[in-house]
Structure 1
Amino acid sequence: MSEILIDDEEGVRTITLNRPDRLNALTGSIMTPLADACADAARDSSVGCVIVTGAGRGFCAGGDLKEGGADKAVVPPNPEVGSRTEQGFSRLRGFMETSRLLHEMPKPTIAMVNGPVAGAGIGIAGACDLRFAARSATFLTAFDRIGASGDFGSTWFWTRIVGTGVARELFFLGEKLSAEEAFAKGLYTRLFDDGVLADETMKAARRLADGPRMGYRYMKANLNNAEDWAFEAALDAEALNMGLSTSATAMVWREKKKQEERGGD
């Protein structure tokens, strides 16, 4: 059974974590293909929007400690591969490319949170531009429960999404939030009844995939720049990207109009 499922529909690519019996908890065997799937989605020009979700009743429960998590394949230290700490860093950092790709790919990304999300899963959800959640969803940082500091960009994303005060509350106190509580804190973008979550998420994803892709590309670049850049540098980028996006969009629309006219002949 494949642990990562890929589905394409009308310009929308859905990437599904497929370990439902473990609430889609992460192991080395799923994290490598997940990062690869995100890389493929980022460079595939036919994809206009990416949805990430989990199979069954959960989004992602974080690292699967029972299965050894990311460290199961780390070999004894030796001069060729370094110490266990070095190997562990390299391995985990490679897995965490998933979060970087979801955050930086030049197209909108949506986390469809269909149930519990915890640990590394909140990093993956936070990496996405939008988070649509079911009422059965919960939110739990969970790192304090194993004496860990956080991974998959979780501390970085959530500090920027909800601010440092709320982020510190989430991580230090480690309280499980209901979907309604998470939505009230701004963790989830939209909240839906479980039965309509998939349809509503796909509706939004199709709208994005059908929209001005070059506009969204540069819009996302501006929004990402705003997280780190000084104001004047961000203004410079906005001015440049405004011209790039509008000219690219106009070119696409002109070509589309030509194709429609040829089809009408």
Structure 2
Amino acid sequence: MSQEVLLEHLNDGVLTLTLNRPDRLNALNPPLLRELREGMERATHNHEARVVVITGAGRAFCAGGDISGKPEKKAGVDEVEATVKPVRKRAPDSVATRIEWLRGNMEAVRLLHQMDKPTVAMIRGATVSVGMALAAACDFRVVSQTASFTTGFAKVGFSGDYGASYFLTRLLGTAKARELMLLSDMLDAQEALRIGLVTQLVADAELEARTYDLARRLADGPPLTYRFMKKNLNASLEGSLEQVLDMEATHMVLSAMTNDQREAVKAFIEKRKPQFTGS
């Protein structure tokens, strides 16, 4: 490819993943879908990355799936061909292979949500369908006043993917999620803030500075504690109270045994900023 569709940059513990198709408002085509999944796998296992920021190049976060230019009768075939490496024989096109291909790429959003480090979506401009799912899967969403949001699936005859129904229901509640999915209305940044989709709403000129202020604050925190904390929070979405209490008790004792916890107490007593090592 002549252009890297996913950019990765690591600085001071903050790994930034940038969707890089600005001419298409970072709409996800098959190469970007594949790179996004692989990029999330790398981010998950990158121990130097304490925080992951996901954003889009140019004037949009992500305009959803790129459905332009696909012949109607070959939509599934083209996507399968574009994601299979040349050394492998392509499986015959069928409903099963289309489902398998899509589900495999959707692992990107599971990895993003379950990652044992804080995640931040830095959002300006259009955020549509898969873009909304990616944003909702993150722990934080720092949003420019230029941002707009719509699920968009219904407008093009799709039922929705990449966990949009899961994440929006848990983030906003079932009534609002159903409204957004079924009606596909456009939300401006202020309305997104009002309904709880946005963590911070900032001026466009301040978006990067404010996002990285938050990311650096998180990167300075205790990595092991964050890992346990995210496991607790994710378990609370599905587990019973008894299961969550059991998990919290286990993680509380384990976190109390870390060097970082001892450093936190020492720094508190000495009235200084703690230096966490992730041990």
Q: Report the TM-score when normalising by structure 2.
A: 0.86
The residue type paired with residue 57 of structure 2 is A
Query: Which residue number in structure 2 is paired with residue 29 of structure 1?
Result: 31
* Structure with the bigger percentage of helix: 1
Which of these residues, 117, 121, 126, is aligned with residue 111 of structure 1?
Answer: 121
Q: Which runs of 5+ in 1 are unaligned?
A: 258-265
Query: Which residue number in structure 2 is paired with residue 261 of structure 1?
Result: none
The residue type paired with residue 74 of structure 1 is V
Between the aligned partners of 1:186 and 1:10, the Cα distance in structure 2 is: 30
Which of these residues, 48, 57, 60, is aligned with residue 58 of structure 1?
Answer: 60
Larger CA deviation: 217-226 vs 119-128: 119-128
CA gap 1:70/1:99 in 2 versus in 1, 3 angstroms: farther
The residue type paired with residue 172 of structure 1 is L
Which of these residues, 236, 260, 264, is aligned with residue 246 of structure 2?
Answer: 236
Q: Is 1:147 equivalent to 2:153 in the alignment?
A: no
Give the deviation of 1:138 after TM superposition.
0.3
- 1:90-137 CA distance string (max 9 Å, x none): 111111111001100100001111211001111111111111110000
Query: Which residue number in structure 1 is paired with residue 48 of structure 2?
Result: 46
Q: Is 1:86 equivalent to 2:96 in the alignment?
A: yes
CA gap 1:70/1:196 in 2 versus in 1, 3 angstroms: farther
Within a 5 Å distance, the mapping from 1:66-215 to structure 2 comes to 66-68=68-70, 72-74=78-80, 81=91, 83-215=93-225
- 1:70-104 CA distance string (max 9 Å, x none): 752336xxxx8355211111111111111001100
> Equivalent residue of 1:73, what SS?
helix
The residue type paired with residue 144 of structure 2 is A
The residue type paired with residue 72 of structure 1 is D
Q: Which runs of 5+ in 2 are unaligned?
A: 82-89, 268-279
> Equivalent residue of 1:207, what SS?
helix
The residue type paired with residue 25 of structure 2 is L
Between the aligned partners of 2:94 and 2:164, the Cα distance in structure 1 is: 24
- 1:160-188 CA distance string (max 9 Å, x none): 00100110111111100000011101111
Between the aligned partners of 1:154 and 1:228, the Cα distance in structure 2 is: 17
Between the aligned partners of 1:42 and 1:245, the Cα distance in structure 2 is: 20
> Equivalent residue of 1:111, what SS?
strand
The residue type paired with residue 112 of structure 2 is L
The residue type paired with residue 37 of structure 1 is G
> Equivalent residue of 2:256, what SS?
helix
CA gap 1:144/1:73 in 2 versus in 1, 3 angstroms: closer
The answer (yes or no) to whether the contact 1:214–1:249 under 8 Å persists in 2 is: no
Give the deviation of 1:239 after TM superposition.
0.4
Give the deviation of 1:232 after TM superposition.
0.6
Between the aligned partners of 1:24 and 1:70, the Cα distance in structure 2 is: 20
Query: Which residue number in structure 1 is paired with residue 13 of structure 2?
Result: 11
Between the aligned partners of 2:137 and 2:105, the Cα distance in structure 1 is: 14
The residue type paired with residue 190 of structure 1 is Q
Q: Is 1:20 equivalent to 2:25 in the alignment?
A: no
Between the aligned partners of 1:249 and 1:100, the Cα distance in structure 2 is: 30
Between the aligned partners of 2:6 and 2:80, the Cα distance in structure 1 is: 22
Give the deviation of 1:252 after TM superposition.
7.7
Give the deviation of 1:33 after TM superposition.
1.0
The residue type paired with residue 110 of structure 1 is V
For the aligned residue pairs, the C-alpha RMSD in angstroms reads 2.0
The number of aligned residues is 253
Between the aligned partners of 2:142 and 2:103, the Cα distance in structure 1 is: 27
